[in-house]
Amino acid sequence: MPGGSVPGGGVPGGGVPGSPCGGESLRPGRLNTAGQRDFIRSFELYFNRSIDSYVQEKNLVGSTAIASRADGAQAREKLLYTALRLFAAKGFERTSTREIAQAAGVNVSAIGYYFGDKAGLYRAAFMEPLGDLCPGKQNADFEGVALLPALQRFFAEFLEPLKRGEAVRLVMRLHFREMVEPTGLWAEEIENEIKPGHFAMLQLLARELALDAPTAHADLDLQRLCFAIVAMAVHYFVAQEIVNGIAPRILADAPAVDTLAERLAGYAVAMIDAERVRRTEAAADGTRSAA
């Protein structure tokens, strides 16, 4: 890989075109308020379950079996998940390449070989572990698909990463840290992955409610409904510890996650029906008032 390039379409030094990072190295913002600092502390407590368990379970760190295998893909994966663990625990700025290399049991030059630089490794840790299963990367084309099947597909694809267990825990921790210590990658994720999916859902809702699709984004009630529907799925990522502590069978295994997706699709249909009734009644009230 060329020395200054960053995997995934970045610019030399790890910057993100059009983001606050510009062409400079990724550099987290400062925590300017006590509230932000308290959030980080609460965040650490919230994820108090050992994140080492996933790496150890998958034999990604300290494994003689992996160390004895010389293939590049395995070595790269080992570095990637070691970096994910450390970046999630300490953030970009407080994690050094030397620390990552030591924890992975490799020479520090391996980071440059596989990822270009520290910024490239951070980008890979942020983007790659869930691959195309990352929420927001679903097939957002609902054209010609009936409402319930469209929602079933949306929730099934959105919740698919939950079947990967501890990997999701690590990635969510890193994503939360990125929100409060921004490097620019979260802004890029919103622009390139989350917005397209959101607008596709808006178009589906506009179709079902017989609204003008081109102006759907300006309808605040439609936006509220869209965010509410997506939030049902997001909750199971953000509050995974709470769900597992209160009702662990909901996310117990792959079939349980599939059942959850089906139920959420049904709940979403009910929400859309309720919004349809609300709009019909509001229109009738307006007609009576005008008369």
Per-residue pLDDT band for 240 (boundaries 50, 70, 90) equals confident
Mean pLDDT of 40-49: 48
Alpha-carbon gap, residue 15 to 12, rounded angstroms: 7
What is residue 140's predicted lDDT score, i.e. its pLDDT? Answer: 64
What is residue 115's predicted lDDT score, i.e. its pLDDT? Answer: 95
Q: Which CATH class is domain 34-127?
A: mainly alpha
What is residue 16's predicted lDDT score, i.e. its pLDDT? Answer: 33
Say whether 11 sits in a helix, a strand or coil: strand
What is residue 287's predicted lDDT score, i.e. its pLDDT? Answer: 73
Whether 49 has a pLDDT exceeding 80, the answer reads no
Helix, strand, coil percentages for the chain (3-state, nearest 5): 70, 0, 30
Fill in the amino acid letter for 154: F
Cα angle: 108, vertex 109, 112; to 5 degrees = 110
In this structure, the chain runs to a length of 291
Q: How far is CA 139 from CA 17, 134, 168, 264, in A?
A: 25, 12, 20, 18
Per-residue pLDDT band for 74 (boundaries 50, 70, 90) equals confident
Tokens of 44: 């650490």
For domain 131-290, the question of CATH label 1.10.357.10 is answered with yes
Mean pLDDT of 53-80: 58
Orientation angle between helical segments 220-238 and 254-290, nearest 10 degrees: 160
230 burial type by CB count under 10 A (0-12 exposed, 13-18 middle, 19+ buried): buried
Whether 66 has a pLDDT exceeding 50, the answer reads no
Q: Decide if 34-127 and 131-290 have a common fold.
A: yes
Cβ 185 vs Cβ 126: under 8 Å = yes
Per-residue pLDDT band for 200 (boundaries 50, 70, 90) equals very high
What is residue 166's predicted lDDT score, i.e. its pLDDT? Answer: 73
73 burial type by CB count under 10 A (0-12 exposed, 13-18 middle, 19+ buried): exposed
Query: Which tens digit of pLDDT belongs to each residue from 157-190?
Result: 999 888 877 777 788 889 888 888 888 888 888 8
What is residue 251's predicted lDDT score, i.e. its pLDDT? Answer: 94
H or E segment to which residue 4 belongs: none
Alpha-carbon gap, residue 213 to 97, rounded angstroms: 48
Fill in the amino acid letter for 118: K
Query: Which tens digit of pLDDT belongs to each residue from 207-228?
Result: 999 999 888 889 999 999 999 9
> Using the 8-state DSSP alphabet, how is residue 251 labeled?
G
Whether 8 has a pLDDT exceeding 70, the answer reads no
Say whether 15 sits in a helix, a strand or coil: strand
pLDDT greater at residue 6 or residue 112: 112
Per domain, the residue ranges of the chain are 34-127, 131-290
Lowest mean pLDDT of 48-57, 146-155, 255-264, name the range: 48-57
Place of tokens 């970009």: 92
